[in-house]
Amino acid sequence: MIEKCLAEVKFRLDNVEEMNGSSHTSPYVIFPSEEELIMGGDYEKSIPGDYPKTEIEGRFNLRRINTPAKALYKGLGLRVGKTTLHIKEAGTDKNIESVIMVYTGSADEFKPVEGAPTKAMTASEISSVLLLETGVISGAYFLFNGVAHVCSWSPPGKEGFAGHAYPADRGDVAAAMFPALMASGTPMGSPSFLALPELVMLAVESYRKAGGENSSIIQ
């Protein structure tokens, strides 16, 4: 299912440029989404048995993105691929696979990682969306001062495995995240935050087109 979901996501993107091998991202791009799902009670922390696969992953706690690509979606710069999450559904043995989309439009630059033969994107804020193989979607917006805002959505049949039912449109996504943003005093109107509703709805559409659910979608 995860391969179908990733294919559907990439089908809807522009200027897709496949990257050789694998890529890596900071754990802080994924960790807030995992923690929010665990807090709901239906997931458990689970480190994959083959992690870390490389010295770099072990030293910097980096997360691997397989079959990565650079792309645009409605003018938004993205890195997309698939990754193995460090969570599993409670009572199961299998780590969950996920499509990952990271908005790169707010990137300041790519700097060498000290002590590692790689570079990392630096930014004062970032947003990411995970489309789990189960259809659950997590959207995260966070600042690099440690403030993070995360919401999750579940498809029909997976009620209770996320904080909200699938959104009908971009407005539903914004409404779900807006109260926490207001309470924290996070500035409104940032490109990273505004990208989230678009990417969450891209994930919803892609999951449905992959055969996960046959309901119609409002664009």
Distance CA 53, CA 166 (A): 34
Burial class of residue 163 in the structure, from the number of CB atoms within 10 Å of its CB (0-12 exposed, 13-18 middle, 19+ buried):
middle
Distance CA 85, CA 59 (A): 18
Distance CA 21, CA 43 (A): 30
Confidence of residue 218 (pLDDT cuts 50, 70, 90): very low
Residue 56: predicted pLDDT? 79
Dihedral angle computed from the Cα positions of residues 123, 131, 8 and 219, in that order, rounded to the nearest 10 degrees = -80
Tell me if 65 sits within 8 A of 128, measured CB to CB: no
Query: Looking at 54-161, which runs of residues are DSSP E strands?
Result: 63-73, 76-84, 87-89, 97-103, 109-112, 119-122, 125-132, 137-143, 148-154
User: Which tens digits make up the pLDDT trace of 186-207?
Assistant: 666 777 888 899 999 999 999 9
Residue 27: predicted pLDDT? 85
145-166: average pLDDT: 87
Residue 181: predicted pLDDT? 67
Mean pLDDT of the chain: 84
User: Which tens digits make up the pLDDT trace of 105-143?
Assistant: 755 445 555 555 555 555 567 889 999 999 999 999 877
The sign one gets for the Cα dihedral 33, 37, 43, 44 is positive
Distance CA 142, CA 112 (A): 22
Residue 217: predicted pLDDT? 37
pLDDT > 90 in the chain, percent = 53
CB 38: neighbour CB atoms within 10 A?
16
What token pair was written down for 196?
A: 């989230």
What token pair was written down for 194?
A: 């505004």
158-178: average pLDDT: 90
Residue 207: predicted pLDDT? 96
Residue 136: predicted pLDDT? 96
Task: Identify which of 16-20, 58-62, 213-217 has the greatest average pLDDT.
Answer: 16-20
User: Which tens digits make up the pLDDT trace of 16-37?
Assistant: 999 887 788 888 889 989 999 9
Residue 215: predicted pLDDT? 40
What token pair was written down for 83?
A: 């990754």
Got the DSSP string for 49-64?
Answer: TT---SHHHHHH--EE
70-86: average pLDDT: 93
